[in-house]
């Protein structure tokens, strides 16, 4: 057996908060039909100290017929342990891709909850290949 310290990631989530949830149903015609979804992800990374980073992740979803609009924003606080020994490329991947992979299941759940209330079938966002998600406006700030 392995100890937890041997298999723990250098990236640890300390906190996760919902910052904004918005759903606008613009049409009554979408209650039963299949939706062609359009998906946009935006992220911003701020470094608060040597190891701690704040990740602001926004997901916007609408459909090609503009029948609804959905926005979910989350704030995650992550520790990047031993960051001084991590090269810049790996650091960037951990702070953009890996944080997205950690935070996205919570966002997916929130989207299902938001779309259940208006009387349409809950929107079930599939499990995503995070490496294929196009992230718009990646900003990585420093102290």
Does 3 fall in a domain? no
pLDDT per position as a tens digit, 109-118: 998 888 886 6
Does 38 fall in a domain? yes
Considering only CA atoms, which of 8, 87, 96, 84 is closest in space to residue 49? 84
Comparing 137 with 92, the larger pLDDT belongs to 92
Q: At 13, is the pLDDT very low, low, confident or very high (cuts 50, 70, 90)?
A: very high
Token digits of residue 7: 């298999």
What is the residue whose two structure tokens read 């701690």? 52
Look up the domain containing 130 and give its range.
Answer: 10-140
- The reported pLDDT for the residue numbered 82 is 82
Cα 48–136–102 angle (5° rounding)? Answer: 55
The answer to whether 78 and 13 have CB atoms below 8 angstroms apart is yes
Q: Is the pLDDT of residue 35 over 70?
A: no
Does 41 fall in a domain? yes
Token digits of residue 101: 């992979």
Does 2 fall in a domain? no
Task: Give the rounded percent of residues in the chain with a pLDDT score beyond 90.
Answer: 34
Q: How far apart are CA 131 and CA 101, in angstroms?
A: 9
- The reported pLDDT for the residue numbered 21 is 94
Please state the domain count of the chain: 1
Token digits of residue 73: 């924003």
Q: At 143, is the pLDDT very low, low, confident or very high (cuts 50, 70, 90)?
A: very low
> Residue 130 sits in a domain of what CATH number?
3.10.420.10
Strands (E), 6-133: 11-25, 37-47, 52-63, 68-80
SS3 45: strand
Q: At 142, is the pLDDT very low, low, confident or very high (cuts 50, 70, 90)?
A: low
Mean pLDDT taken over the chain: 84
Q: How far apart are CA 40 and CA 93, in angstroms?
A: 19
Considering only CA atoms, which of 46, 37, 66, 57 is closest in space to residue 141? 46
Does 4 fall in a domain? no
For CA atoms 99, 44, 18, 86, the dihedral sign is positive
Does 83 fall in a domain? yes
Report the pLDDT averaged over residues 106-132: 80
């Amino acid at each position: 057996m392995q100890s937890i310290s041997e298999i723990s990631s250098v990236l640890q989530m300390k906190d996760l908060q919902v910052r904004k949830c918005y759903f606008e149903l613009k049409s009554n015609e979408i209650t039963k039909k299949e939706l062609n979804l359009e998906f946009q992800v935006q992220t911003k990374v701020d470094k608060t100290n040597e190891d701690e980073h704040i990740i602001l992740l926004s997901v916007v979803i609408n459909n090609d017929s503009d029948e609804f609009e959905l926005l979910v924003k989350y704030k995650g606080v992550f520790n990047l342990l031993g960051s001084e020994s991590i090269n810049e490329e790996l650091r960037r991947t951990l702070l953009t891709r890996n944080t997205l992979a950690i935070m996205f299941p919570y966002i997916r759940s929130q989207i299902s909850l938001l779309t259940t209330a208006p009387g349409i079938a809950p929107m079930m966002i599939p499990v995503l290949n995070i490496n294929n998600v196009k992230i718009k406006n990646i900003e990585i700030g420093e102290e």
